């Protein structure tokens, strides 16, 4: 004897209760993951530029001469001298003449960049610990923001390179969006913390009161946080839509099954191709798969019970629980 045991006759005057519907776990399309991968790669590149370009804030002082220009990065500071515009071959003018023959304005001359580590312990002891704590915390937050980026990239690559059965790939797409979205949210929070600390220091520290401006590395960090926030919102919205069974997000698992229907008792059965299915009995492909998995589980359980009855204890053991009672 094999298969699921059939139900006995329903007593007269008692209605047959419909079977509970199996919970449908819709999968998710690959296209949202491809978009998320592109956004994540862009955010990772922007984060690396924010850390290693070393041009968060520039301070340019032209007077008193000679002037200087300093650019501050998360972990280094570079300075160079500036020689301002000056007059060459100037002579007193005794008669109206073309002044271009006597005056020659030279462009500012800039020396080479000289870089060192920043902030140093001596500066922290001299100028106060608060600046060093804020600046160093911004650097650590930017570096830690790379960790969730790498984790999300590995998760996405696992989805695309997964070479297992079709159901296993669908299960991976169904679950991985939560991990990837969480990693993106963590990256966004850390990146916002980093640029927020830099902005607070820029607005409150004395060394940035004169001739200072925010430059490209700072805006790289802002762009990285924005890109990650967009990716997080997009993937989360799509994942929730797929979970609800929206066809545009869930794909094939949310489409109507053409050769199956749900009976009044709640069972999913196959019907001949071309059969007209009433709207109340329409099922999706995901419901068909869930019903098949439930039937397979029932068959396995029934087979195990038969084996236990014929050969010994349930589960294949040699001793029953009642043997020592």
Q: How far apart are the first and last CA of the chain?
A: 31
Rounded distance, CA 239 to CA 255, Å? Answer: 16
The closest alpha carbon to 44, from 155, 150, 137, 189, belongs to 150
Residue 24 belongs to some domain of the structure: no
Higher pLDDT among residues 106 and 215, named by residue: 215
The closest alpha carbon to 245, from 208, 283, 279, belongs to 283
Give the pTM: 0.67
Residue 141 belongs to some domain of the structure: yes
* Same domain, residue pair 42 and 173: yes
What percentage of the chain has pLDDT greater than the value 90? 34
Average per-residue pLDDT for the chain = 75
Residue 153 belongs to some domain of the structure: yes
Q: What is the pLDDT of residues 215-251, one digit of tens each?
A: 999 999 999 999 999 999 999 999 888 888 777 777 6
Residue 287 belongs to some domain of the structure: yes
* Same domain, residue pair 43 and 161: yes
Higher pLDDT among residues 296 and 39, named by residue: 39
Higher pLDDT among residues 166 and 110, named by residue: 110
Domain count, the chain: 2
The closest alpha carbon to 159, from 147, 175, 146, belongs to 175
* Same domain, residue pair 223 and 306: no
For residue 262, give the 3-state DSSP assignment.
strand
* Same domain, residue pair 232 and 274: no
> In the chain, what is the greatest distance between 2 CA atoms, to the nearest angstrom?
129
Rounded distance, CA 272 to CA 52, Å? Answer: 64
* Same domain, residue pair 154 and 292: no
* Same domain, residue pair 273 and 207: no
Domain, as residue range, for 38 = 31-51+125-244
Q: Is the peptide bond before 64 cis (omega within 30 degrees of 0)?
A: yes
* Same domain, residue pair 36 and 168: yes
Rounded distance, CA 111 to CA 298, Å? Answer: 81
* Same domain, residue pair 145 and 38: yes
């Amino acid at each position: 004897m094999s298969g699921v045991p059939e139900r006995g006759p329903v007593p007269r005057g008692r209605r047959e209760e419909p079977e509970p519907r199996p919970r449908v776990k819709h999968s998710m399309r690959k296209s949202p993951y491809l978009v998320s991968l592109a956004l994540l790669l862009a955010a990772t590149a922007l984060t690396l530029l924010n850390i290693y370009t070393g041009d968060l804030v520039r301070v340019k002082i032209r007077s008193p001469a000679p002037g200087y220009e300093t650019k501050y990065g998360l972990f280094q500071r570079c300075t160079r001298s500036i020689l301002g515009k000056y007059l060459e071959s100037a002579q007193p003018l005794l008669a109206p003449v073309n002044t271009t023959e006597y005056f020659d304005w030279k462009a500012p001359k800039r020396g080479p960049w000289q870089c060192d580590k920043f902030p140093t312990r001596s500066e922290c002891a001299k100028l106060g610990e608060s600046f060093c704590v804020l600046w160093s915390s911004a650097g650590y937050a930017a570096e830690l923001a790379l960790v969730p980026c790498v984790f999300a990239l590995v998760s996405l690559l696992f989805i695309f390179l997964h070479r297992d059965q079709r159901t296993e790939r669908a299960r991976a797409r169904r679950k991985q969006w939560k991990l990837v979205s969480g990693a993106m949210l963590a990256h966004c929070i850390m990146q916002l913390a980093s640029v927020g600390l830099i902005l607070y220091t820029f607005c409150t520290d004395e060394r940035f009161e004169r001739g200072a401006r925010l430059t490209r590395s700072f805006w790289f960090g802002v762009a990285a946080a924005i890109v990650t926030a967009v990716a997080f919102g997009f993937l989360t919205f799509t994942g929730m839509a797929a979970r609800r069974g929206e066809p545009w997000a869930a794909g094939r698992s949310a489409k109507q099954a053409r050769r199956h229907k749900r009976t009044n008792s709640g069972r999913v059965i196959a019907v001949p191709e071309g059969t007209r299915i009433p709207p109340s009995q329409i099922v999706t492909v995901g419901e068909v798969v869930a019903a098949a998995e439930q039937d397979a589980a029932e068959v396995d359980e029934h087979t195990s019970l038969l084996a236990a009855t014929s050969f010994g204890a349930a589960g294949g053991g040699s001793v029953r629980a009642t043997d020592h009672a």
